[in-house]
Structure 1
Amino acid sequence: MTTITGTRAVTARSAAYWTATALVTAELAVGGIWDVLRISQVRDVVEHLGYPAYFLVLLGVWKVLGALALLAPRLPLLKEWAYAGVIFTDTGAIVSHLTVGYELAELGFLIPLAGLTVLSWALRPEPRRLPTVPGGSAVPAAR
């Protein structure tokens, strides 16, 4: 039985999921394209962090592919990998910035972005989740 309150909760959850996911995928897509193009601002940051320039192309391609995976319908296992990749990227950026002495203000963008990624993952609808078995463990889709 669906109640008006239940419907509003589902609608609010869906709106929060799509808002968080849109922000995460927009950052991935735009950031990925900037990385692949090696725009000067991004290249300067990566050089200051101590990474080689070719790292930008590799990271950028994976960011764009991750954005596409998160937006594509179904494909729950691929989405799990994409979310993991985004968290690795976000936390790697946070640690890298802290390690080389960037201002703490830099974290004002990176930490909320990681939080939005976790929010998107936690609120994803059922068709975007791995199926679970009784006991709660995820089961990869059959090949």
Structure 2
Amino acid sequence: MHRRALAYWTVTILVTAELGVGGLWDVARIPYVLDLAVNLGYPSYFLVLLGCWKMLGAAALLVPGCALLKEWAYAGAFFTYSGAIVSHLTTGYALGELVPLTVIATLMVLSWWLRPPSRRTHRRATF
């Protein structure tokens, strides 16, 4: 296996594992996650919505094909993690969570950047 492919699958599996497990925890509203969300100012029902989207995003990143769906999943994951970082910074709550959130966000961007041509949309962005 080429180094780039190995790196892609390593970071992608880590990202999808976090999305999947984190999504399950969100939907189940385990006490740690529920306390964190409420202290950040989010209603508890938001966790169910967020958890469902995380699990769907994890599935989208793993299934073959569906490049456009993968782009949406990466975008959603970026919004999720960057939003979580901003939420922690603006509230000052659980600032120790910033390190793992930043690591996960970085791994997610790395997964997007390393993805093989078969997992990319083939459109060029025009601005």
The CA deviation at 1:131 is 1.2
Instruction: Tell me if 1:117 matches 2:108.
Output: yes
Instruction: Tell me if 1:127 matches 2:118.
Output: yes
Partner of 2:50: 59
Matched residue type, 1:39? I
For residues 90-116 of structure 1, give each alpha carbon's deviation from its aligned partner in whole angstroms, at most 9, with x where no partner exists.
Answer: 000000011111354321100111100
> How many pairs are equivalent?
126
Match of 1:82 among 73, 79, 82: 73
Compared CA separation, residues 60 and 73, structure 1 to 2 (3 A):
same
Matched residue type, 1:94? I
Partner of 1:68: 59
For residues 10-49 of structure 1, give each alpha carbon's deviation from its aligned partner in whole angstroms, at most 9, with x where no partner exists.
Answer: 7110010001100000000000000000000000000000
Matched residue type, 2:10? T
Match of 1:106 among 93, 97, 106: 97
Partner of 1:5: none
Length-normalised TM-score, structure 2: 0.95
**Does 91-100 or 10-19 show the bigger shift?**
10-19
Match of 1:41 among 22, 32, 37: 32
Distance 2:109 2:97 in 1: 19
Query: Is the Cα–Cα contact under 8 Å of residues 39 and 93 in structure 2 kept in the other structure?
Result: no
Q: Over the residues paired in the alignment, what is the CA RMSD in angstroms?
A: 1.4
Runs of 4+ aligned structure 1 residues displaced above 3 Å come to none
Partner of 2:86: 95
What are structure 2's unaligned runs of at least 5 residues? none
Structure with greater Cα Rg: 1
For residues 30-86 of structure 1, give each alpha carbon's deviation from its aligned partner in whole angstroms, at most 9, with x where no partner exists.
Answer: 000000000000000000000000000000000000000000001000000000000
Instruction: Tell me if 1:20 matches 2:14.
Output: no
Percent identical pairs in the alignment equals: 63
Query: Is the Cα–Cα contact under 8 Å of residues 40 and 93 in structure 2 kept in the other structure?
Result: no
